[in-house]
Structure 1
Amino acid sequence: MSDIGKRLPRKRFSPDERRKLILDGAIHFFAEHGIDGSTHQLAKELNITQPLIYQYFPNKEYLIDAVYDELFNGRWNPEWDTLLKDRTRPLSLRLLQFYSEYSQVIQAPEWIRIYLDSGLKHLQLNRRYNTIIEQSVIHRICDEMRVSLGLPDLDDLPITDAEFEAVWTMHGGLFYHGVRKHVYKLETTRDYEAVIADIVEGFVVGFEVVVRRAVVRSR
């Protein structure tokens, strides 16, 4: 029996509990075997029958959608938008708090592996999630940086390619730390909170040059 199956003790569960156990098992299973893993193999590793899975998830597509809702939507904190918009605090402190909290989500091995695998399989999971990130994080940071520097906001002057790419590079760099650790199995020796602090500080200092130059050129 796999480690996943061992996590499902033999006892009577309520329907909600059973559904949650199957969903949690599916997340670990797809993280280990990829989105192409079959529900037949999933049932075997969970030590249950395949028809039991289909009692709660009518087909594999439905199960994948449930994985997305749990892993991506379910772990997104709506308070982060309020945090990033709180202009009573310096932007660097807002970014530091946001990425310290957000990284606790995206540094989870199953989150990283399913996110990457769904992209390689050309599925919609990470595309849907990236739409959320672009609107709620990338554009938000660009707008807040403009305001903090006394420059036109995005309503007056649309985001430039230079700004867009600079924020994505910072955002992606923090994510890549987890890829090195959980996908490439490379040793990461530094304290991750220190990594976040260094990257955020370097970004804020360097981005001021980028955004001022981009705004001047756009005008």
Structure 2
Amino acid sequence: MTARLVAMSFEARTPKSVAGFWGSMLDRDVTETDDGFLLPGSPTQVGLAFHRGSQNRLAQNRAHLHLTSTDAADQHRVVAQALDLGASHVDVGQRPEEGHIVLADPDGNEFCVIEPHNSYLAGTGFLGELACDGTREVGVFWSAALGWPLVWDQDEETAIQSPAGGTKVAWGGPPVAPRVGRSRQLFVLAAEGGEPGDLAAEVDHLVGLGARLLSVDQRGHGELADPDGNEFRLRPA
């Protein structure tokens, strides 16, 4: 049994506007949900969601997006489009000789526009990678939880990818920044089948893989934590 990855959800001060930014960047429709706004994904592109959260940011984000480019002109076009939509340049310690360009969306979430001809992200599509802070253990956990094979497993760095291809989800290995408060980004999963028993069975499956059950709300939706302590949500399909 495996769960389906619905989206990576970002806590946002202005979820509607930042969802609109990413909808324009990724050319996706924005759907309003019970707790925010969703940019649905596809079999090869990870969905994104935005929910309202605290304005106090206690630590740097533990995940950020990588957008790909086909050539130098395309990289310039993507950067220019993002800036026109309200993004800004940001310095996270990148070196001048590195080819990627680091920006922040209007809500302050960092993302990178990757240099053209990057072989690691070849064939992944425009949303090439969701790059996360985390251990090898958590990469192995998510591979098993989603049924996505490990496509990179070296020097404690891991990456997984849908069997259909597309967006990679990666963890950079140690040193892992200490956790401060709740995660501002979390995975939203759907238990296939849609029946209450399917949800309970998927919780048991995830716990068996190394997750911890944190809570269940009045709708029966679960909040769990992966082996690194990162919260994630499980709901019916």
Bin for the TM-score computed over the shorter chain? under 0.3
TM-score norm. by structure 2 comes to 0.25
TM-score norm. by structure 1 comes to 0.27
Of structures 1 and 2, the larger Rg is shown by: 1
Q: Which has the higher strand share?
A: 2
